[in-house]
Structure 1
Amino acid sequence: MDITLWIMIIGWVFVLIWVPFIIYTNKDTHPKALFVLFFAEMWERFSYYGMRALLVLYMTKVLFIDLAQNVAETQAYGIYGSYTAMVYLFPVLGGLVADQLLGFKKTILWGGLLMALGHFTLALQGFENLEGNMPFFFAALALIIVGNGFFKPNISSFLGTFYDPNDARKDGAFSIFYMGVNIGAFLSTLTCGYVGQQINWHYGFGLAGIGMLLGLIVFYIFTKSSRDFEGKGMSPEEVQSGERKFLGMKPDIGVYIISLLAIPVCAFMLDLDEFMSGALIVISLLIVGYLLYQALTAKNRVEGQRLLVVVVLFFFHAVFWALFEQAGGSLTIFTDKNVDRLVGGTEIPASIFQSLNPLYIMLLAPLFSWIWLKLSKTGKEPSTPMKFVLGLVQLALGFAVIVIGAKFFAGGDGLVPIVFLALMYLLHTTGELSLSPIGLSMVTKLSPAKVVGFVMGAWFLSIALANKMAGLIGTLTTSEAVTDDTPAEMTLGIYSETYLIWGVGVVGAAALILLLLVPLLRKWMNGIH
C-alpha cells in the first residue's frame, strides 16, 4: 500500500470540499474580487511551491550527483539562496512597473506567462541531451524569477484596492487570501513532490507549469468579465492617453523587451553566490535608504511616520523569513537524513513534509481571520507590530521543539520521531499567520497611495534578503566530514546546534527587541491599527 499516494488523494478531496466551504461562509462579508484573486494566486503558488519542493533535492540527487555530498549540498544551497533571493528582489521593479506603466492587470498577466514558460523549460530538461545542462537549468530559473517579480507584489497590492485603509475586514481578507496561497502550496508539495520523487523529476516540474497556466486563465477570464473589476488595475492615465513613454516606445512593449533581456542576466547571476550576497546587501541598503528619505522628507508628517513603521518592520520581517525558509533548504535535507519517515511500512519522501505548513494554514487561516475580526470588535486586537512579535516568538518555539526532539527523543539511529517535525511546522505556521498576511495588509494601509506597488515590492525585498541569509544559514549544516556514509547521529548534532543558535537564540532576541519598540511604532502608525 502506497501511503504517500493516499495522502495525495485525500489532500485533493479535502481541498475540493474546503475551498467551496470557505467561499460560501465568507461571500457576504467580502467582495467577489477576493475570491478571484484568491484562486489565481492559489494556482500561481501551486507552480512556485511545486518546483521549490523538488529543487534542492533535484540538485543534490541529480545535477550534482558526481560531487561529494557536502560539496553538492553547499552548491545546492548557494543556488537555492540566490534563486529565492532574486525571486523576491524583482518584485521591487515589478511593483514600480505596475504603478507607473502597465497597471496591475497587465503586469500580473505578463509575469504569470513568464513563470509558466520557466516551469515548462525545467520539464524539457528531462530530454536526454538536456539533462544536467546547467545553462538551460539556469535559464528556466531565470524565467521564473523575472515572471514572479511582475506577478507576486501586484496581486497582493491589487487586492488592497478593494478595501479602505482602516476597513476592519482587511486583515481578515488577507488571511483568507493567504490561505489561497497555501492551498496551492499544499496541493503542489503533495502532487509535484510525489510525482517528482516517485515517478520522474521533470513530470513534477511540468505539473507546476500547468498550475501556473490555470491561474492565468482564471485571472484573465474574471478580470475581463466581472463588474467588480471595472476600472480597477488599469494603467495610469498618462499611459492611456499616450503622454508617458518608456524608452521612447509604448510602455508595454518597452517592458516586454527589458524583461526578456533580463533573463540571461539573471541566469548568469544564479551561479555567482558571493556576488549575489554583496549585491543584495547594497540594493537593500539603497532601497531602504530611499524609503527612509521619503519618510523623513515627506510634506505630510503622518504619511512619513507611517512609512517609517514599514522600514523598521522590514528588518524583523527579514529575520523571520531567513529562518522560516529553512523549510525549502536545510529542513528538507534534515528530514531526509534525520527524521523517521516510515509510516505504515512506507517511507514517505522528504519533500512531502513541506505540505504540513500549507495544510495547517488552510485549517487555521479562517480561524485567525475570525479571531482578528472578533478582537477588533471588542477593542482587544493586537497592533500590527505586536502581531509581528507573536510571529517571531512562535517561530523560535518551533525550532526549540525540533532541538528538544533531536537532543532528548532521537533514537540510537539518529532519527527524530515524526511528531516533532509536525509540531515544529504547526508553530511555524501559527507564527506565519501572525506576521505574513498582516504584513501584506499593513503595506497597503501605511503606504502613500501613489507608490503602494513600489513599497510592496520593497517589502518583498526583505524576503529576498532573508532567502539569501537562509542559504547561508543552510550551509552551516554542511561539513567536509559528512559523506553519504556518515551516520545519522552525527548529522543530527550539526543540525540541532545550528537551529538552537539561529532558530531559537537569534529569533528570540529579535522578538524581544521588537517588543520594546512596539509603543513607538504604534504611535507612528497615527491611528491605523
Structure 2
Amino acid sequence: MDITMWIMIVGWIFVLLWVPFIIFTNKNTHPRALFVLFFAEMWERFSYYGMRALLTLYMAKVLFIDLAQNVAEAKAYGIYGSYTAMVYLFPVLGGLVADKLLGFKKTIIWGGFLMALGHFILALQGIEGLEGNLIFFFTALAFIIVGNGFFKPNISSFLGTFYEMDDPRKDGAFSIFYMGVNIGAFLSTLTCGYVGQQINWHYGFGLAGIGMVVGLIVFYLFSKGSGFEGKGLPPKEVLEGNKKFLGFKPEIGIYIISLLAIPVCAFFLDLDEVMSAILIVTSLVIIGYLIFVSLNNKDKVEGRKLLVVVVLFFFHAVFWALFEQAGGSLTIFTDKNVDRLVGGTEIPASIFQSLNPLFIMLFAPLFSWIWLRLNKAKKEPSTPMKFVLGLTQLALGFAVIVIGAKFFASDDGLVPIAFLAIMYLLHTTGELSLSPVGLSMVTKLSPAKVVGFVMGAWFLSIALANKMAGLIGTLTTSEKVDENTAASVTLDIYTNTYLIWGVAVVGGAALLLLVLVPLLRKWMGGIH
C-alpha cells in the first residue's frame, strides 16, 4: 500500500475521533442547531472541495491535452477563475431568495439538489464519447454554480439566527462551523484527490456528488427536530399564499429561473474578459447600493456599521485573490516544483490542498477559545484588526515559499515539502483570523431586514477575488514553457509572481488597513 493511501486512512480515523470530541466539549455552550448545520456544511464542502482538488489539474492534463502546455494552463486558470467567481457571485441572489421568498430551509435544500446533479454530470463525463466535451463539462459546472448560490450564503445566515446580535459565543460558533467546512474539505481533498489522480478522474468527481447527497439528507432530517421550530421558514405573506413570483407560487418561479440560469452560466464560463467586466460592474453596483443604504439610513449608527462591511469588502477580496491560488497556480506549482517524493512514493499534487483544512481542524478550536478568553479579559482584537492579522500572515506565507525557492531549492528546481507546509500553516492561521469572524461580522453589523443580501454581497467579494486569482494565475504561465522545460525555469516564474503579488501587494494592504482600524472601530458603534 502506498503512503498516499495511508495518509487517507489516517485522515479518516483522525476525523472520526476529532468530531465527537468537538461536539462533546461544546454541547453545553452552543445550541443543537450549530452541530446540525456543522454536519450539513461539512458534507456540502466535501463535494465542493473534492471537485476543486481535481479541477485545474483535470483541465490542464486531460480536457485541454491537445493544446500547448502554457495555453492549456492559462485556459484552465481562466475557467477556474470564472467558475469560482460565479460560485461566489450567485449567493448575492440566493440570499435575496431566502429573505423574500423561500426562507432558509427550502433555499438550502434546492441549492444542494442542484449541486449534487452537477457533480454527477461531471462523473458521467467519463463515459466514452463524452470525455473532452466542453458543453457537457460547462453544464456540469453551471449546475454547481447555481446550486451553490442558493446553499452557501443561507446556511451561514441561518446559523446567525440562533444567536443574539452581540452574543459573545457567536465568533466561537462560527469558528466551529468553519471547522466543519474544513473537515469536509480535508476528507474530500484526500479521498477525491487520491481516487481522481490515482484511479480515475471521474470516480473522484462522483465521490464529490455522493458527499453532497449525504449533506442534503443530514440537513433535511435533522432540521425538522427540536431547536429549529419557527426558524428558516418563508416570510409570512408567502406562507399565507399572498405572494407570487413571475405569476407562480414562489417555489415554482424560483425553480424555473434556476433552470434557465444554467445554460447562461455554462455559456459565460469560457468568456474570460466578459466575466471580468461583469464582476467589476456588478461589484460597483452592489457596493454603490450598500453605500446608498448606509448613508440614507435614518439610524446613523446602523448606517455607519454597514459602511464598515463595505470597507472590509475590498480587503477581503485582496486576501482571497491570493489565498485562492491554492486551487489554481499553487497546485500546478506543487506538481512541477515541489519535491513530492516521500518514503519512495510520489504524493499527488492535489493531496497537498488537504494541509489547509487539516490545520483549520487543529487550530479552529484554539482560535475560538482564544477569542473568548481575550473577550473576557477585554483584550480581544476588533474585527478590522483581525483582518490586519489575516493579511499579514498570508503575506508571510508567500514570503516563506519565496525564501524556499530562492535559497533552498535543489539544483533541478524542486522546493522541499517543508516550505509548502509552513506556507499553508501561515495561510491557515491568516484565514482563521479573518474569514470566520468576517461571516460573524456581517450578521452583527447588517440591518436585520437585509442580512441575507449583505451576506450575499460579502460572498461577492470572494467572487471578485476568485476572478482576480485566475488572472494572477495566468502570470505564472509563459510561451517559453512546455512539458520539456526544466523545473528551475518555471521556479523563477512562480517565485517572481508570488513575491510581487503575495508578499508586496498583500503586505501593503495590511499596512493600509492598520491605518484605518481606529476609524472603523468608531463606526462599529460598540460592536466588537
Tell me, yes or no, whether TM beats 0.5: yes
Aligned counterpart, 2:330: 331
**What is the deviation of 1:247?**
0.8
Q: Which runs of 5+ in 1 are unaligned?
A: none
Aligned counterparts, 1:357-506, within 5 A: 357-506=356-505
Q: Does 1:17 align with 2:17?
A: yes
Mapped to 1, the partners of 2:330 and 2:287 lie a distance apart of: 30
Q: Distance in 2 between matches of 1:379 and 1:516?
A: 22
Structure 1 counterpart of 2:10, one-letter code: I
Residue by residue over 1:408-443, the C-alpha shift from the partner in whole angstroms, topping out at 9 and shown as x without a partner, is 000101000000000000000000000000000000
In 2, the alpha carbon distance for the partners of 1:141 and 1:367 equals 36
Deviation by residue 1:321-351 (Cα, 9 ceiling, x = unmatched)? 0000000000000000000000000000000
Letter of the aligned partner of 1:264 in structure 2? P
* Aligned counterpart, 2:161: 161
Q: Distance in 2 between matches of 1:101 and 1:525?
A: 30
TM-superposed CA distance for 1:218, in Å, is 0.2
1:243 offset after TM fit, Å?
1.8
The offset of 1:227, in angstroms, is 1.5
Aligned to 1:229, the other structure's residue is in SS state coil
Q: What is the TM-score with the length of structure 2 in the denominator? A: 1.00
**1:343-380 Cα shifts (integer Å, max 9, x gaps):** 00000000000000000000000000000000000000
Question: What amino acid sits opposite 2:368 in the alignment?
Answer: S
Give SS of 1:399's match.
helix
Residue 34 (structure 1) aligned with residue 34 (structure 2): yes
Q: What stretches of structure 1 move > 4 A for 4+ residues in a row?
A: none
In structure 2, what residue type is equivalent to 1:158?
F
User: Match of 1:216, as an amino acid?
Assistant: L
Q: Could you tell me how far apart the structure 1 residues matched to 2:472 and 2:270 are?
A: 18
1:94-142 Cα distance to aligned partner (Å, 9 max, x none): 0000000000000000000000000000000000111111000000000
Aligned to 1:524: 523
Q: CA deviation digits over 1:276-323, x for unaligned, max 9?
A: 000100000000000000000001111100000000000000000000
The one-letter amino acid of 1:508's match is: G
Give the equivalent residue in structure 2 for 1:123. Answer: 123
Task: State the distance in 2 between where 1:160 and 1:313 align.
Answer: 19
Q: 2:270 corresponds to which letter in structure 1?
A: D
Question: Secondary structure, in 3 states, of the residue corresponding to 2:223?
Answer: helix
Q: What residue number does 2:258 align with?
A: 259
User: Which residue in 1 is equivalent to 2:306?
Assistant: 307
Deviates more, 1:297-306 or 1:239-248: 239-248
- Matches of 1:113 and 1:178, distance apart in 2: 22
CA distance in structure 2 between the partners assigned to 1:75 and 1:489 by the alignment: 23
Aligned residue identity for 2:86: M
How many positions carry a matched residue from both structures? 528
- State how 1:40-439 maps to structure 2 within 5 Å: 40-224=40-224, 226-439=225-438
| CA distance in 2 between partners of 1:157 and 1:309 (Å) | 18
Task: For residue 382 of structure 1, report the CA deviation from its aligned partner.
Answer: 0.2
Distance 1:403 1:255 in 2: 48
Aligned-residue identity in percent: 84
Amino acid corresponding to residue 3 of structure 2 in structure 1: I
- Please list every run of 5 or more consecutive structure 2 residues that lacks an aligned counterpart in the other structure: none
Quote how far apart the aligned CAs of 1:152 are. Answer: 0.2
Q: CA deviation at 1:165?
A: 1.2
Task: For 1:124, give the aligned amino acid.
Answer: L
**1:2 correspondence with 2:40:** no
Q: Bigger CA drift: 235-244 or 411-420? A: 235-244
TM-score in terms of structure 1 length: 1.00
Q: What letter is aligned with 2:268?
A: M
CA distance in 2, matches of 1:244, 1:306: 32
AA aligned to 2:71 is V
Q: Structure 2 CA distance, aligned partners of 1:521 and 1:244?
A: 40
How big is the shift at 1:221? 0.2
Secondary structure at 1:128 match in 2? coil
Q: Which amino acid aligns with 2:117?
A: L
**Cα distance in 2, alignment partners of residues 318 and 26 from structure 1:** 32
| One-letter amino acid of the structure 2 residue matched with residue 76 of structure 1 | A
Q: What is the DSSP-based 3-state SS (H/G/I as helix, E as strand, rest coil) of the residue aligned with 2:227?
A: helix
